[in-house]
Amino acid sequence: MLLTALILMPLLFAGIVAFAPARNARGMALLGTTLALALGAFVCSQFDWGYADKHQFGAAEPFVWFPALGLNLSLGVDSVALMLVLLTVLLGPICVLCSWTAITQRVRTYYSWLLVLQAAMTGVFCARDVIFFYICFEFTLIPMFILISLYGSTNRRKAAIKFFLFTFTGSVIALAGLIYVAWYATTTSGGRFQGWTFDIGALESAARTMSLRQQSIVLLALMAGFAVKVPLFPVHTWLPLAHTEAPTAGSVILAGVLLKLGTYALYRFVLPFVPEAVVEYAPFIGVLCIIGILYGGLICWVQTDVKKLVAYSSVAHLGFCVLGLFALNNTGITGSILYMINHGLSTGALFLLIGMVYERYHTRSMKELGGLASKMPVWATFMVFFTMASVGLPGLNGFVSEFLCLLGAFQASSAWGSGLWGSLGLQPGATPGDYGPWFAAVAGVGMIVAAMYLLYMVGRMVWGPLVEPRSHAHHAHGAEDPNALPRDLTPREIGLLIPIAALCIGLGIYPKPVLDALQPPVSRTIAHYEQLRNSPRLTPTAPAEHASAQDGEGAP
């Protein structure tokens, strides 16, 4: 009931905003998102942390949408999903506030689609039915498409189309993979067809009995969809364009939550559904992550468009996140989930800050901006702070999660060593199986690169001689625009940065409550891998024996 309200609340306000007078639109949107935030806090307080791995708040009798398809609207959150829901509802009011003065055209359209987007994202995290998940997952595309193509900058139409097509193509293939799993689950349920189920829990236990070959195909299909969303290295090309062209709130949501849909889906579907294939191919995915980390970082270094720089830094950061996820151990996965939240906070804040500068100077080029500390000291303070959080300065949130991801990768040798060489046709153990440290070491170089480009950016923009766009200098003296913002941040802008900053410090200094809360669901996921590791692992040359060994053990 609570979760239903959490999804319906933004939708309700989207309807109100769409038909209310335009001057009330932003106020109503703020009210709606704030109420959703309050509701989110209430859900959090009602959550039974003792059973954090259980999906809570689900209705006993979920609403059946299409009985013929086996499609239910079943909801439920465990602690991982709850964290991400909280992140979503927290960013809601922030996105409304950061658009407060920036959006002047078609205001009602803007805020109502923003609210629809929030509802769809909440739905993704709350869904306990694969098809319902997919519906929400896909439906996030439409609001984002509209936000980018109506309110973006010059190249917005191309960016929006590219964003839509990349993610849509991938997720249709992922849908095929999920349906394959559902079909498999039906065929193995006693050998008879008793209707289809798309319940995630039911599919999870059935999917694990698939043979390695089937699992690999499902893995491929799922990765096709979710890696695009994350985005991982070869399919990341839509992201910088979309980020650059999107309005500030769009970028914040994109970085804060939409990318997390991909990593969340990896956590929710890929890891539990196809463990054997994951073990088999984790090293390859790890390599892709590392390429993303280094390549993304190096591209950042040569950017002059500051928004594009932060966008590419997302590619690198999410490389860490997925690397931790595919380390397949407790440390790595916990770190990865924490990384999802931290990246949402710090990168979201960076986009906010860049948006604030853009609103004042109408440029994002680092050639035209520099030494802003002398003009905008408050802004500069926050900029340095969030850059440090993003770089991973110890004491701030980025450090904890990045460290945990790397540590997880460092310890991941037992999973990766055999898998990588096994898939190359070599016997496990024929070569010393300690690759985790190498992965971690190379990825660690990415941290240094990240420090370099982010500090370079801060050095250009915050310190050094003052550089302002030439056109702006004329405007500033004239001060003819009554709506023009003051030079430094307004209380509204400071107000929306402070909660994020507080969370960054809190999660940096004392992340233990969050880490503890994540333990139960993560251990549940890990359990299958522990079991796999302890079972006599066989090379893919004898998959039949392997499958039967798995069958014999049964689901826990």
Residues that bind other proteins (CB under 8 A): 64-70, 131, 134-135, 138-139, 141-142, 145-146, 149-150, 161, 164-165, 168-169, 172-173, 175-176, 179-180, 182-184, 186-188, 191, 193, 195-196, 209, 211-214, 217, 221, 543-544, 546-547, 551
Reported for 42-50, long-range contacts at CB under 8 A and 24+ positions apart, including other chains, are 42/2, 43/2, 43/3, 43/6, 43/77, 43/82, 43/85, 44/82, 44/86, 46/2, 47/77, 47/79, 47/82, 49/79, 49/517
Q: Which two tokens stand for residue 143?
A: 């609001």
Cβ distance 295 to 449 under 8 Å? no
In the complex with other proteins, the residue whose CB is nearer, 93 or 262, is: 262
State the nearest-atom distance from the C-beta of 277 to other proteins, in Å.
13
Return d(Cα 412, Cα 525) in angstroms, integer: 15
**Closer CB to other proteins, residue 268 or residue 364?**
268
Nearer to other proteins, 175 or 323 (CB): 175
CB of 505 to other proteins, least distance (A): 40
Q: How far is the CB of 174 from other proteins (least distance, A)?
A: 9
Q: Are 111 and 29 in contact (CB under 8 A)?
A: yes
Q: Given the complex with other proteins, which of 214 and 251 has the nearer CB atom?
A: 214
Burial class (CB in 10 A: 0-12, 13-18, 19+), 159: buried
* 523 CA to centre of own chain: 21
Q: Closest approach of Cβ 469 to other proteins, in Å?
A: 28
Supply the minimum distance, in Å, between the C-beta of residue 237 and other proteins: 16
Q: Please check whether residue 75 is in contact with residue 58, taking contact to mean a CB–CB distance below 8 angstroms.
A: yes
Indicate the residue among 248 and 550 with the shorter CB distance to other proteins.
550
CB of 263 to other proteins, least distance (A): 21
Q: Which residues contact 26 (CB under 8 A, 6 or more apart)?
A: 96, 99, 100, 103, 107, 111
**Chain CA centroid to CA 246, Å:** 17
CB nearer to other proteins: pick between 187 and 374: 187
**Please, what is the minimum distance in Å from the beta carbon of residue 176 to other proteins?**
5
Q: C-beta of 420: minimal distance to other proteins in Å?
A: 21
The torsion region of residue 75 among left (phi > 0), alpha (psi -120 to 50) and beta comes to: beta
Cβ atoms of 231 and 318 closer than 8 Å: yes
Q: Extract the tokens encoding 18.
A: 């769409």
Q: Which residue has the tokens 């070569």?
A: 431
CB of 523 to other proteins, least distance (A): 29
Computed from CA positions of residues 257, 258, 263, 264, in that sequence, does the dihedral angle turn out positive or negative? Answer: positive
- Residue 305: CB atoms within 10 Å: 17
State in angstroms the smallest separation of the CB of 396 from other proteins.
Answer: 39
The smaller minimum CB distance to other proteins, of residues 166 and 233, is found at 166
Nearer to other proteins, 79 or 171 (CB): 171
CB 358 within 8 A of CB 250: no
The residue type found at 167 is T
Structure tokens belonging to residue 446: 């990415």
Handedness of CA 150, 151, 156, 162 (dihedral sign): negative
CB of 10 to other proteins, least distance (A): 16
Tokens 């439920």 belong to 76
Would you say 214 or 347 has its CB closer to other proteins?
214
Contact yes or no for 436/411 (Cβ under 8 A): yes
Which C-beta is closer to other proteins: that of 177 or that of 392?
177
Nearer to other proteins, 137 or 386 (CB): 137
Q: Closest separation between CB of residue 7 and other proteins, Å?
A: 13
Minimum CB separation of residue 98 from other proteins in Å reads: 22
What is the full DSSP assignment across 314-344? HHHHHHHHHHHHTT-SHHHHHHHHHHHHHHH
Kindly tell me which of 437 and 543 has the beta carbon lying closer to other proteins: 543
Q: In 3D, which of 353, 346, 156, 146 has the Cα closest to residue 241? A: 156
Which C-beta is closer to other proteins: that of 208 or that of 308? 208
Tell how many helices (H) and how many strands (E) occur in the chain. Answer: 24, 2
